[in-house]
Structure 1
């Protein structure tokens, strides 16, 4: 028995050689809900003889269990999640691999609902071709437009327009031609290289794997015939060499290699190499794979590169071809797709993650939002869930990247919320921003420590946060008098006062509130550099912005003071009648009424103001500062 498998080795080897010689096409199906994406792929697999007998039997039983006695529901082959089967929709991205005599395929069946746009983006990010389904009865819907635009944005250059349910419009050629003409006009400016329109009935199998007698007026290929023969010219090996470092491999003191997957291009032993961020030059000493050393490696291979020289490189850096280096910059423009229910707000700090790098980043400017129906550029102050915009982004430290149109792998990133660690957006880099290249930090001879020592105090930012009417300004003003009487050097930045000058151009939308706090935090930072104790009295309703302000200051320099007053007490104290107006709908975006206030989680000082005098609260803060000062040595 031990020798028996050898009988099959030649056949297995021949099969593997045949499969290895076939080209691979990655494609996605997308479009609106109920346009028949899952059914089309299920039918394609079924008619292509790519489903096992027991799977067919299970499919029939499952269809009957769901009350579909007159036909087999082919979508069940892909709708694997129980929630999807119950609702009849695709939520997750369902990947399937199959192979025909001509080609190998990986298909991603993506969701149609707008709230699952992120899943569609995931599926499209590695695809060469998109099958856009349109229901022949309903025509192009908003999701048809959105998915087509996203496919273009994500670098897909080949489209199949599958006009589905052609049987339900009596196989009319006029319906097909009208939809095809409409779609081609819609995508005229999107830069697709090929568009193949095919009338299909996913349920009945018309023009799915073979041409249908029901559409004698259609003279083009079936869907499968087209997928088997379309030339998508996948690029990879012909691009400049890019190797994002995932891991520095040091199993012992005698070996040091850089591990990862080649994103593009080829590399051979002896080739010159540049470390992207430092510009250091070296050459390839050896290329190590799981199966041993090789002389040449190319895009898609996971390898460990051993270099001839010691260089400063680690995860997040990139090894590149010296003749075609990537951009290295800390400012860039990108198209951003927003996923999160909380809007993208310029000025807010996020984490930006590339293939292997991770840096703090800020959306410095939202240049415009893209209307996916008309492609018009619309002015906007924020992006809501599933919206697309063009942004300027500043990273805390330089990153290495290419333009997304030149290299998908090194030109994309995701945006991560700093608090929840949720992925809230995805981006495609357009180009670096050069305008700040001549701006450098100028070192000063007189330091913060020298200014602080002169004033005999430890600089600090006391950040008073709380609802309007909570008593922030009153307590801050009282504390300022106490500190001034004791010879301390202070300054108050009050929310109302600052809006008369520095921030007079800002309103009270969420985006304006974020920018309001960003500017004040930067000013407070400059004042601490001067050695001052800065009292900042702002509602500052969002935790992210308070966290951003804290991150600007030195360790221990930011002191969050939560002035905790119930909203009804704030309304009772309110001398301007703002709460009455807000509750009557006369004031928009009023914190605590029509705009949220996010309570501090771990403030350094938590002041409950009910039945307490502002002087007592100010003295409590002074006591905190005295204890803090005693631990400081200039």
Structure 2
């Protein structure tokens, strides 16, 4: 298999409290020699000050002093490392139930999700919660890391039972690819190097698996979606008649001469020029930031969108969304929120709660009328004006949105358009 050494893999880690996420990432960085000597020396000194005989691998990911003193990791910690085979970005998310929302943030752009399970405890509610979110966010690869095998004497029967339990749950979800790796992050078994303690496991260790995962681009290359961020009107001599539309191409490939439609007006034109920075190009592809001029003078403003004339998004004022509620305050039916979608912001409300999902059983509660923090379900949203939308599984950018409480300006929900 030929791999592009510059190919970037984004993966997220998730698990319950004390499943060993920070230790696993520390072991991954340490054994792959992805840490500078001065960092290692600093962590060794900190470990010694804590009275430890060995290096505390978890400190490689616990960045803040007060977090270390409390012995917990909070928020989402991003780490970067490179091997001869591939570049990586890790989003380390907390295991506490009250931080489920952080996993939604950390996993939203991931190519793979590492879900940790403590071999002593097996598949628990948080395991199911994280697996469901990974499936909901359409993450193509899930790697189930069955950690702390050293504490169950490296027994194959324990591993087999956890695999069976997880597969029983995962069969109810739309999960593309699931792999299982038994390991001990503390001792290094099956993280970077193969384990001598588990000869019954014949597949690859974690790092090799990550280096050889097939990365299918999560960018939709077919549907041209160019949300307008701003209109450029330079006033310098020689540019008086210039009118360009700037933003980031959300999906597809846009070429000079393409027949396009400006939405929401519906007027048609052709692409006259495309600029990327100071360079004029003949084509652009997502996620490039560009400025586009059209052959016709069409009034388009921020929040509008340029698309191909024969391939348009849906134009809807009411639609269903899968949401993860992020705020401590409960959701309210018919309360006014702000919806932010691509570069479009407008008033909206939750007009109906379709159902709430019980993460433990995946059963749907159609009697639910509100959501509390970290709860997930389907709602109907009604906006003050029609929006230009795609389904999340077809287009992550134009298929996602956030809800904001206009009274506090807090983000209260992340949504994936159904």
The bucket for the TM-score relative to the shorter chain is over 0.9
Shift in alpha-carbon separation, 1:211–1:300, aligned structure 2, 3 A: same
Which residue among 41, 53, 69 is the counterpart of 1:57?
41
Partner of 1:377: 364
Q: Which residue of structure 1 lines up, in the alignment, with residue 25 of structure 2?
A: 41
Question: Paired residue for 1:402?
Answer: 390
How far 1:251 sits from its partner (Å)?
A: 2.5
Contact map agreement 1:158 1:232 (CA 8 A) in 2: no
As a proportion of its length, which structure holds more helix? 1
Higher relative contact order (CA 8 A, sep 6+): 2
2:273 pairs with 1:289:
no
Correspondence list, 1:497-536, <5 A: none
CA shift for structure 1 position 21: 5.5
Larger Rg, first or second structure (1 or 2): 1
Q: Which residue of 1 aligns with 2:400?
A: 412
Alignment of 1:374-453 (within 5 A): 374-378=361-365, 379-430=367-418
- 8 Å CA contact 2:15–2:116 kept in 1: the answer is yes
Residue 88 of structure 1 deviates from its aligned partner by 2.3
What residue is the counterpart of 1:232 in the other structure? 215
CA distance in 2, matches of 1:262, 1:281: 18
Please state how far the C-alpha of 1:291 moved relative to its aligned partner.
Answer: 4.5
Task: Please give the TM-score of this superposition, normalised by the length of structure 2.
Answer: 0.95
Corresponding position of 1:566:
none
Matched with 2:90 is 107
The answer to whether the 8 A contact 1:276-1:328 is kept is no
Larger mean Cα displacement after TM superposition, 328-337 or 265-274: 265-274
Distance 1:221 1:416 in 2: 44
Q: What SS does the corresponding residue of 1:258 show, helix, strand or coil?
A: strand
The 8 Å contact of residues 47 and 209 in structure 1, kept in 2 or not, is answered as: yes
Unaligned runs of 5+ residues in structure 2 are none
Residues 259, 303 of structure 1: 8 Å contact kept: yes
Are the aligned partners of 1:132 and 1:159 in contact in 2 as well (CA < 8 Å)? yes
- What is the DSSP-based 3-state SS (H/G/I as helix, E as strand, rest coil) of the residue aligned with 1:351? strand
Is 1:142 aligned with 2:130? no
Q: Structure 1 regions of 5+ residues with no counterpart?
A: 1-18, 431-634
Alignment deviations for residues 113-139 of structure 1 (CA, whole Å, 9 cap, x no partner): 122222211111101110000011111
Kindly indicate whether the alpha-carbon contact (under 8 Å) linking 1:160 and 1:197 is maintained by their aligned counterparts in 2: yes
Alpha-carbon distance in 1 for matches of 2:4, 2:415: 34
* In structure 1, C-alpha distance between the alignment counterparts of 2:356 and 2:220, rounded to whole Å: 35
- In structure 2, the residue matched to 1:167 is 150
Give the number of equivalent residue pairs: 412
Contact in 1 for aligned 2:47/2:55 (Cα 8 Å): yes
Q: Do 1:237 and 1:298's aligned partners in 2 also have CA atoms closer than 8 Å?
A: no
Query: CA separation in 2, counterparts of 1:417 and 1:25?
Result: 34
Partner secondary structure for residue 366 of structure 1? strand
Rounded Cα–Cα distance in structure 2 between residues aligned with 1:87 and 1:179 = 31
Tell me how large the CA RMSD over aligned residues is.
1.6
Q: Secondary structure at the match of 1:182?
A: helix
Task: Kindly report which structure 2 residues correspond to 1:564-575, keeping only aligned pairs within 5 A, or say none.
Answer: none
Q: Distance in 2 between matches of 1:297 and 1:50?
A: 35
Q: Tell me the residue number matched to 1:77.
A: 60
**8 Å contact from structure 1 (residues 366, 390) kept in 2:** yes
Answer yes or no: is the 8 Å Cα contact 1:63–1:73 preserved in 2.
yes
Kindly state the Cα deviation for residue 292 of structure 1 after the two structures are TM-superposed. Answer: 0.9
Alpha-carbon distance, 1:244 to partner? 1.4
Q: List structure 1 segments (4+ residues) > 6 angstroms apart after TM superposition.
A: none
Whole-angstrom distance in 1 between the partners of 2:126 and 2:362: 14
Distance verdict in 2 for CA 1:21–1:221, change over 3 Å: closer
Contact 2:4–2:85 (CA<8 Å) still a contact in 1? no
Map of 1:247 onto structure 2: 230
Residue aligned with 1:137, SS: coil
